[in-house]
Amino acid sequence: MKRREFSKSIALLGLGAQAGLVGNLGHAAENQESFYEEPVKKLPIRKFDVVVAGGGTAGIFAAMAAARQGAKTMLIETKGYCGGIAVEGGTAIHSFYNLYTAFENCTKRKVVQGIPAEFIDRLTEMGGATGYPEMETGLDYDSVCTAIDTELYKILAFRMLKDAGVFIAVNTLLAGAIVENSRIKGVITESRSGREAIMANSFIDSTGYGDLCAHANAEFNVLNDYDSCNSFGFANASIDDYYKFLKSNDALGHICRGPRSGEENKFVRMGAEQLNIPGFIDEAKKIGLSMVTTTVRDNYLMYVKCNFKVPGTVLDRDDIAQAEVEIRNRMAKAAELLKKYVPGFEKAFIARTSPSMLIRRGRQIVCDYDITHEDVIYGRHFDDDTFVYGFHDSAPQYQIKDGGTYGIPYRALCVKGIENLYAIGMMITSDLRAHMSTRNTVSCMGQGQASGTAAALCAKKKTGSRDLKYADLRRQLEKGKVYFEA
């Protein structure tokens, strides 16, 4: 087996650390023939109750929930802001409601409430979100369209984390774990202040990639079953001209009207999957250009996405580097095509890109329970539900039965074999068809509130995640306004 293949097979087995050859993240520099042994260092120690690694879509809600329970909470985020893919790659935030528009006699319910809904309500008040306007077409896919302003979202995330009393460590990399037997004692961080050891009782991995789980030698799979992506904001564009053009070409897909730049009843979601302009469509397909987008601003498309399947894995530095170069070329081509062929975009320009490539799945972490596709589409509930969810991204092919919901059980967040670690966000659920539901934004947010609440309760009693009584967790989740079906 070649060196490169060898390092990838280690990642697949989750055995990097045990092998002791390539570092516990399971990737190695190519052609690495010799090794340098790092000198042992004494690191300064900080102590917390709860550590949340990754301040993205799920992580900020985990940190807020833990801190609101009174836990001394640290949030570790490698970038200079929080919000993750919700502010970097998304389109609409799916979904706070059940799919009530697709089924007769189905009651409309806001099925995810709690801190995520409080966040969107505050963002809407700031003019940074549409709230929950009903879709005009595409009613068998989602019932409402929650679109956001990426920059106001980042600002509000900081405000609410601060208000909750979270210690925010941005520009800080989670770089290691201190594990004794099957319990995490602490994590190692790296920032411009140097390396530090952060000790705590409970830990949450919300890095998307599963970095903390890998450092802690948890079991994981690398499934490589999605395209990766970058997305850009397209400014100086006329949304109304774009809409007219789509309409005259009979190319309107999913449409929603809502508040835009302070005015009601404007287009905030536009899908144009059937835009068959000769010269444009073949080139657009080649670069993986997605023609579904949202906005909450006049003259600005919040997200234009270019997809690309990374030929190796999204865990290999060199494969990622090649993909970053390719995707940025695709974004330049996308802007060129839109300006040339689509009225409304003649003078548009790229105003924002994501700082790095976005993944739909990195490591899939093995947890005590693996949510199945049947659980999702048959709307199953469990005796340890932490919240309920009702959206599937493959709808209308797969919808949750009768426009209902399924439960996210507590067990699905507990990392197998580790006493005090939760995995949340895109890392849970192995079945791709089930993951097409659990990975969506609002599900990740709900998992955040659930895990943060649980982690704080465990920290209070200095116990591991499996010692927590469900009744205690449920009581606190209900106090935190989490919605349950019964």
Contact status: 480 vs ligand FAD (CB under 6 A): no
Options 49-57, 260-268, 370-378, 460-468: segment touching ligand FAD (CB under 6 A): 49-57
Options 25-33, 72-80, 148-156, 473-481: segment touching ligand FAD (CB under 6 A): 72-80
C-alpha 471: how far from chain center: 28
Distance (Å, rounded) from C-alpha 468 to C-alpha 458? 6
Q: Rank residues 390 and 464 by Cβ distance to ligand FAD and give the closer one.
A: 390
Strand order from edge to edge, sheet including 194-199: 45-47, 194-199, 183-191, 173-180
Min separation Cβ 262 and ligand FAD, Å: 24
> Dihedral through CA 67, CA 73, CA 74, CA 75, nearest 10?
-30
Burial class (CB in 10 A: 0-12, 13-18, 19+), 61: buried
Distance (Å, rounded) from C-alpha 378 to C-alpha 402? 9
Min separation Cβ 279 and ligand FAD, Å: 26
**In 3-state terms, what secondary structure has residue 14?**
coil
- CA angle (94 as vertex; 89, 97 as ends), nearest 5: 165
Options 159-167, 333-341, 439-447, 463-471: segment touching ligand FAD (CB under 6 A): 439-447
Distance (Å, rounded) from C-alpha 78 to C-alpha 186? 18
Binder of ligand FAD out of 24, 206, 364, 437 (CB under 6 A):
206
Question: For the chain, percent helix, then strand, then coil, each to nearest 5?
Answer: 35, 25, 45
Residue 71, both tokens: 């836990």
Q: Rank residues 238 and 356 by Cβ distance to ligand FAD and give the closer one.
A: 356
Q: Rank residues 172 and 464 by Cβ distance to ligand FAD and give the closer one.
A: 172
Total chain residues near ligand FAD (CB under 6 A): 38
Contact status: 78 vs ligand FAD (CB under 6 A): yes
* Contact code string over 359-378 relative to ligand FAD, x by CB under 6 A: -x------------------
C-alpha 293: how far from chain center: 18
Contact status: 150 vs ligand FAD (CB under 6 A): no
Min separation Cβ 475 and ligand FAD, Å: 26
Residue nearest to ligand FAD (CB): 56
- CA angle (375 as vertex; 371, 379 as ends), nearest 5: 135
Binder of ligand FAD out of 92, 111, 310, 468 (CB under 6 A):
92
Q: Rank residues 135 and 229 by Cβ distance to ligand FAD and give the closer one.
A: 229
Report the relative pairing of strands 421-423 and 202-205 from DSSP bridges: parallel
Contact status: 305 vs ligand FAD (CB under 6 A): yes
Residue 323, both tokens: 């993909």
Contact status: 217 vs ligand FAD (CB under 6 A): no
Interface residues with ligand FAD (CB under 6 A)?
Answer: 53-59, 76-79, 84-86, 89-94, 173-174, 206-209, 211, 229, 231, 305, 358, 360, 425-426, 439-441, 444
